Amino acid sequence: MYPVSDQFDNLSNRLQAAFNRLAKDEHLWQSDLYGALRDATTSLASTLELARASVWLLNEERSALECQLLFRAEQGSFESGARLLVTECPGLFGALNEGRLLDASDVVNDPRLVEIYLHHLRPHGVGATMIATLNEAGRLSGILCLEHVGSPRLWSRDEQNFAVSAADLLSQLRVFHALKNRERSYRAVVDAAGDTIFTIVDGLITDCNPAAEAMFDWPRTQLIGKTQAMLSPQIQSDGRASSVKAQDYLQNAIDVGPQCFEWTHLKADGSKLEVDVSLSAIWLSGRCQITAIVRDVTERRLAEQIRQASAEVLKQRNASLQVINNLANRLHGSTDSHAIADETLRVLQVLQRSPLSLFHLYDPAADDFEVVAAIGYQPEEIAARRRMPLGRSLSQHAIEQRRILHCDDIAADPRMDPEIRTLLLATGIRSQTVVPLLYHDQVLGIIGLHFHDCGNEFSETELDTLRAVSQTVALALANARHVHDLEFQANHDSLTGLPNRTQLHRDATTALRNIAGSDKGMSLLLLDLDKFKEVNDTLGHRTGDQILKQVAQRLQQALTPHDAMLARLGGDEFAIVLRCISGAPQAMGIAASMLATLRQPMEVEGIFIELGGSIGVAVYPQHGGTSHALLRCADVAMYAAKNTDGAVSLYDSAHDAHNPRRLAMITELGAAIRGSQLVVYFQPRLALQEGHWCSSEALVRWQHPRLGFIPPGEFVQFAETSELIRPLTLWVARQAVMQLAAWHQAGLQVSVSVNLATRNLLDVTLPEALLSLLQEFNVPPGSLELEITETALMNDPERALQVVNHIASLGMRLSIDDFGTGYSSLAYLKRLPLHSLKIDRSFVRDMLIDDQDAIIVRSTIGLAHSLGLQVVAEGVEDLDTLARLREYGCDEAQGYVLSKPQPAAIAGITMQTPPPGDYA
């Protein structure tokens, strides 16, 4: 593998920074929902460089998705009103209900979008889209639609995660604004209990209720258009002018908040009317509307009672908003589930209702709940209920019904399991409320609020707060679990689940630190399976993977009695850290017992297989003071075990000085390039659609006089880390061009491809050197194809682009090798003068049995053709795969089913004979 450019980390960082800015944007929370959606869609389109971003919500009947707001980046405009009926798009809605994200890199060929393609995507030129689901109470409530106009677009994992995170943020925004709107509606209903209601916009009365006509003895038509001062005497009782004082109150209602005051009005006949006035401002569609409630003074007492009730409700709702805001801020970015639990219970204390509370996290392995935080309980009480099965409890019902449940009287509630009832009553608990924590279909935990007396049911306002808390906490827990999963993947092998090389060094370093200064030792063992490659090649990679899983399980069981860690370093190589041993004899004994366990026959898919292995042993402190030094020594010892058939070998410094294979490869490679030890093999390629041989790849081999045949994977790495890579590349290119000239003279019109390394792309003299070779042998430049890997390009993109452009300007062809295994940037690849790309064998190998691999292959072919590139599939091992690739429109194929790499003479004969199968 070649080094990967930092630009992909920069993409991840840029998206994370953009999301943080969006989440912390005060306008999203302070404006109305319409304004929040305007800001959010504009920001998302700008961040991902998209032409269209929209938010759709399910209507109350859940029969259709309705577009709330669509932002068009090119026009800078917004629109709404479009609808998608559930009955007309069952496939799309099915896909949305099955996952968090529908990422379509090519909408033309994506079967999930066929129902909306003609009417909703093609008219706007949409080439790719990501549709992330909005959820409320664990159910689909809407979608965030991010659309790329033009050619297809492959979405990166960071962009997909960004879309899902943005959708979760919009889900929170919707809940937040719904709570705010309910507050406004409730206040309007309570305030409407007065006799007269005016609606005032820009200082003028725009509407009134019938009570206003009765109170003022003016018809509605004459009240509309007047100001408050026009219905008042010139001077109020405090000596201030009515016009000035009214304007002050109206402005304060807008700038400060609701205004309540006494006022003197005039009826139509000129008589005075003493009233109480309440003003409240609401922003609707960008305009401020003031509601004025006018009450006769004779109803002051009733009005005071209503105002007191209104003030209390407003206080509760403001407290609810504060609770949610505080909780969201405290949990933002937290990855510790226990810390999330502690913060949640502390924030909930502002309700001042529940003296006792418990926070349980669900343990799927044990199928029960564990208490991770508590308030009001003694340590011994927490220990007594540390783990809680669901049983027949209120918690079980709350989870099943996906809602908050309350029990007024535990002693009489039939939903309660007798054992749980007895436990609660014994600690003085008489009533309780259970808040389930659910994320989609996942049960994450529960919050239990307990009371010493019966009753204690929460108000609707408090329940709204608890629902919002539940959603916020569930999202935080899900994010924390996701971060832990990512950390696990980064430090563990994906096949066996064992720690990987990174985790091995961390664990070994910790072990060394723990035994420092003591008389204890530590050992590091390196195990390599014998002849696993032959088994893998004979039975196939799928069987090989099953064997590796069983080997990992056996080794893990063998290490159970010991303080040890087992890791997989890659391929069939495993490492073991023995954290605390008495010395080398103990380590050697454990290694021998592991090999004895490994040699027992294992059954894989009905086949019994016997495997052996070789183990190298290195011991601290004799062989090294760091994990890296010990691993190197264990590696040397393992090779010694293989060479001496000793199975287990303890590190001996003599092995380092007499490792003929490695030493020969490092010191003799230069002489091999200048001498006659290297040979070039050729592997033909077939033009699938035309059915004839079209090209051949040049592959270097080393025929060492003492070590025998050495494949390139063992020695090219030494050339790439030294100045030998240039002469090696030019030597291979010379042999390839010389053979190409001979084939052309024999009437075989094919091309030849040569692989370039990372350092080749930094060599600005390479293009002219290649041109000199072509001119020397009179070969057209277009007959030479140069293969470069994605990671080689990304090492120094600008310098590589300079060399690549020079090569292309001289007429030679360029292709991307192993496409899909690196971190391609489509925007960068579009800048390259490429002719073709090669799909990596890891996708081709299982495409007939793995739908995901088939989708990748088909999508890659479509993407390449849309960019004007040809596609070569490598690693084709059977005729059925060859036929499927031809069906997909793949241009060329290469693999063992066609021909193995062969000497030039045999490869020439192969390309003069018809290809296998019916491809003429």
Res. 659: pLDDT tops 60: no
More confident residue, 524 or 445: 524
Q: Give me the phi and psi of 271, to 5 degrees please.
A: -75, 150
Q: Is the per-residue pLDDT at 522 higher than 70?
A: yes
Among 13-27, 129-143, 543-557, whose mean pLDDT is lowest?
13-27
SS3 content of the chain, % helix, strand, coil (to 5): 50, 25, 25
Question: Which two tokens mark 539?
Answer: 């039975």
What is the band of 1 on the pLDDT scale with cuts at 50, 70, 90?
Answer: very low
pLDDT band (50, 70, 90) for residue 5: very low
pLDDT at position 813: 95
CATH level 3 topology of 501-658: Alpha-Beta Plaits (3.30.70)
Write the CB contacts of 148 (distance below 8 Å, at least 6 apart in sequence): 50, 51, 126, 127, 128, 129
Query: Is 249 a residue whose pLDDT tops 80?
Result: yes
**pLDDT (tens digit per residue) in 714-765:** 777 777 766 788 899 999 999 999 999 999 999 999 999 999 987 888 888 8
pLDDT at 895 over 90: yes
Instruction: Report how far residue 877's alpha carbon sits from residue 45's, in angstroms, rounded to the nearest whole number.
Output: 44
Which residues, 6 or more positions from 412, have their beta carbon under 8 angstroms from its beta carbon? none
Q: What is the pLDDT of residue 180?
A: 75
Under 8 Å CB-to-CB from 328, ≥6 apart: which residues?
172, 472
In the three-class reduction of DSSP (H, G, I as helix; E, B as strand; rest coil), residue 339 is classed as helix
pLDDT classification of 4: cutoffs 50, 70, 90 = very low
Q: What is the pLDDT of residue 53?
A: 94
179 has pLDDT over 90: no
What does the pLDDT average to over 4-9?
49
Helices (H) and strands (E) in the chain, counts: 32, 35
Lowest mean pLDDT among 15-24, 39-48, 297-306, 536-545: 297-306
Under a CB-based contact definition with an 8 Å cutoff, are residues 633 and 554 in contact? no
- Record the tokens describing residue 653, joined without a space: 């410094």
DSSP class per residue in 238-290: TS-BHHHHHHHHHHHHHHT--EEEEEEEE-TTS-EEEEEEEEEEEEETTEEEE
* CATH top-level class of 355-489: alpha beta
The token pair that represents 235 in the structure block: 């001077």
Residue 283 or 486, more confident: 283
Residue 537 pLDDT > 70:
no
* Residue range 324-338: mean pLDDT, rounded: 69
Q: Find the range with the poorest average confidence among 104-113, 157-166, 504-513, 712-721.
A: 712-721
Domain spans, the chain: 8-184, 192-324, 355-489, 501-658, 664-911
State yes or no: pLDDT of 332 exceeds 70.
no
Q: Is the pLDDT of residue 899 over 60?
A: yes
- C-alpha closest to that of 146 among 279, 54, 233, 17: 54
Query: How far apart are the C-alpha atoms of 536 and 721, rounded to whole Å?
Result: 30
Query: Cβ distance 814 to 807 under 8 Å?
Result: yes
Which CATH number, 3.30.1540.10, 3.40.980.10, 3.30.450.40, 3.40.50.2000, labels domain 8-184?
3.30.450.40
Exposure letters 786-825 (e unless 16+ CB within 10 A, then b): bbbbbbbbbbbbeebbebbebbbeeebbbbbbbbbbbebb
495: phi then psi, degrees, rounded to nearest 5: -80, -50
Q: What is the pLDDT of residue 816?
A: 87
User: Poorest-confidence range of 251-255, 406-410, 818-822, 879-883?
Assistant: 818-822
What residues have CB less than 8 Å from 667, skipping those under 6 apart? Answer: none
Mean predicted lDDT score pLDDT of the chain: 83
pLDDT at residue 672 above 70? yes
What does the pLDDT read at residue 842? 81
Note the pLDDT of residue 840: 85
Identify any residues that bridge with 284 across adjacent strands, giving them in sequence order. Answer: 287
Are 796 and 761 spatial neighbours (Cβ–Cβ below 8 Å)? Answer: yes
- Rounded distance, CA 831 to CA 729, Å? 25
Other beta carbons within 10 Å of 186: 16
Dist. CA 405–CA 416, nearest whole Å: 12
Instruction: Compute the radius of gyration of the chain from its Cα atoms.
Output: 37
- For 741, counting Cβ atoms within 10 Å of its Cβ (0-12 exposed, 13-18 middle, 19+ buried), the class is middle
Specify which of 284-293, 304-313, 692-701 reaches the highest per-range mean pLDDT.
Answer: 692-701
The residue among 819, 818, 735 whose CA lies nearest residue 779 is 735
| Between 76 and 453, residue with greater pLDDT | 76
Residues linked to residue 154 through DSSP beta bridges, in sequence order:
none
Nearest to 819 by CA among 831, 833, 834, 804: 834
Whether 247 has a pLDDT exceeding 80, the answer reads yes
- The answer to whether 815 and 834 have CB atoms below 8 angstroms apart is yes
Higher pLDDT, 313 or 108: 108
d(CA 672, CA 722): 15
The pLDDT, as a whole number, for residue 795 is 59
Tens of pLDDT along 85-120? Answer: 999 999 898 888 888 899 999 999 999 999 998 889
Higher pLDDT, 795 or 500: 500
Output 351 or 503, whichever has higher pLDDT: 503
Kindly compute the dihedral angle of the four CA atoms of residues 543, 546, 548, 549, in this order, to the nearest 10 degrees: 180
Does pLDDT of 660 surpass 90?
Answer: no
Render pLDDT for 338-390 as a digit per residue (tens, 0 to 9): 777 777 777 777 665 666 777 767 776 667 777 777 777 777 666 666 666 65
pLDDT computed for residue 27 by the predictor: 78
Q: Where does the pLDDT of residue 65 fall: very low under 50, low under 70, confident under 90, or very high at 90 and above?
A: very high
Query: Options 2.60.40.10, 3.30.450.20, 3.40.50.2000, 3.40.50.10320; which CATH number does 192-324 get?
Result: 3.30.450.20
Contact 560, 489 (CB under 8 A): no
User: H helices within 99-156, ranges in order?
Assistant: 114-116
Sheet holding 405-407, edge to edge: 387-389, 368-375, 356-363, 442-451, 431-439, 405-407
Q: Given this chain, do its domains 355-489 and 664-911 carry the same CATH topology?
A: no
664-911 to CATH, choices 3.20.20.450, 3.40.470.10, 2.30.130.10, 3.40.50.12500: 3.20.20.450
The confidence score (pLDDT) of residue 85 equals 92
Confidence of residue 822 (pLDDT cuts 50, 70, 90): very low
| CA distance linking residue 842 with residue 836, whole number of Å | 18
